[in-house]
Amino acid sequence: MSMRRVAQELDTGPASLYAHVSSKEELLELVYDRVLGEIRLPEPDPARWKEQLRAYALEMHLVLGSHRDVARAALATIPTGANSVRAGEFVYRLLLEAGMAPREASLAMDRLILYVIGDAYEGSLHHGRMRAAGIDDPGEYFENFVGQIAAYYRALPRDRFPYLTKHIDDLIADDGEQRFYYGLDLFLDGLEARLSKP
Q: Which residues of the shown chain bind DNA in the complex (CB under 7 A)?
A: 1-5, 12-16, 18-20, 22-25
The answer to the question of residue 10 lying near its own copies (CB under 8 A) is no
Residues 59-98 that bind its own copies (CB under 8 A): 72, 75-76, 78, 80, 85, 88-89, 92-93, 96
Rama region for 157: left / alpha / beta (φ>0; ψ in -120 to 50; rest) = beta
Q: For residues 85 and 74, what is the distance between their CA atoms, to the nearest angstrom?
A: 13
| 134 conformational bin, left if phi > 0, alpha if psi -120 to 50, beta if neither | left
CA 85, 70, 172: angle at the middle one, nearest 5? Answer: 115
| Minimum distance, C-beta of residue 19 to its own copies, in the bound complex (Å) | 22
Q: By CB under 8 A, is residue 133 in contact with its own copies?
A: no
Chain contacts with its own copies (rule: CB under 8 A)? 72, 75-76, 78, 80, 85, 88-89, 92-93, 96, 102-103, 105-108, 110-111, 114-115, 117-119, 121-123, 125-126, 129, 145, 148-149, 152, 156, 160-164, 167, 170-174, 178-179, 182-183, 186-187, 189-191, 193-194
